[in-house]
């Protein structure tokens, strides 16, 4: 899987220079939701949220960026107090799935010891086993099985009618 990063922050910078922090947030929010793990993007987004006064949300993204500047400390601590007080089990529910499923080695080296301290096991967290279905897939599977049985009954009925017609035609030929 290739990594897609967004190194061009010119639109965000332009929105900030125009005093449109809300627009810069929209731009980065779209990138955060549609990218692979990108610490630079998370630091930019967290810094913008910090500037807007959203400390806990800023702390989430600054924590995930792995960067630890003094001005980030309060936001990161607030985030960890709110979401990390019971370790990785509660913290992982507050971060996007595509991030929490990453193996420990995919995170910045500065962040890895913190994740281990919180209880990250180092492996992919939610790896599915072959043949194991998710609830949505089970529902689809039930519908497919029901559809298969319905089609089997319909084709069997058509087969019986076709056979009876064929036998009727043969009887007319043989017995006149």
Six-digit token string for 84: 């990390």
SS3 2: coil
Q: Per residue in 42-73, pLDDT tens? A: 999 999 999 999 999 999 999 999 999 999 99
Could you count the other beta carbons within 10 Å of the beta carbon of residue 25?
A: 20
How large is the average pLDDT for residues 134-141? 61
d(CA 167, CA 16): 83
Q: Per residue in 72-95, pLDDT tens? A: 999 999 999 999 888 888 888 898
**To the nearest whole percent, how much of the chain has pLDDT over 70?**
85
Contact partners, residue 109, CB within 8 Å, separation at least 6: 66
CA angle in degrees (0–180, nearest 5) for 132-135-140: 95
**pLDDT score of 11:** 83
d(CA 14, CA 132): 48
Fold for the domain defined by 10-118: 1.25.40
């Amino acid at each position: 899987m290739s990594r897609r990063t967004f190194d061009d922050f010119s639109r965000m910078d332009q929105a900030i220079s125009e005093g449109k922090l809300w627009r810069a947030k929209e731009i980065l929010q779209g990138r955060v939701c549609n990218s692979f793990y990108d610490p630079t993007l998370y630091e930019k987004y967290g810094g913008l949220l910090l500037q807007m006064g959203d400390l806990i949300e800023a702390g989430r993204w600054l924590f995930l960026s792995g960067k630890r500047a003094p001005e980030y400390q309060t936001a990161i601590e607030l985030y960890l107090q709110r979401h990390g007080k019971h370790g990785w089990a509660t913290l992982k529910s507050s971060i996007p799935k595509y991030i929490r499923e990453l193996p420990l080695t995919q995170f910045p080296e500065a962040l890895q010891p913190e994740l281990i301290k919180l209880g990250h096991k180092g492996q992919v967290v939610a790896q599915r086993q072959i043949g194991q279905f998710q609830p949505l897939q089970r529902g689809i599977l039930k519908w497919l099985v029901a559809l298969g049985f319905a089609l089997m009954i319909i084709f069997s009925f058509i087969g019986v009618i076709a056979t009876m017609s064929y036998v009727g035609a043969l009887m007319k030929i043989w017995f006149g």
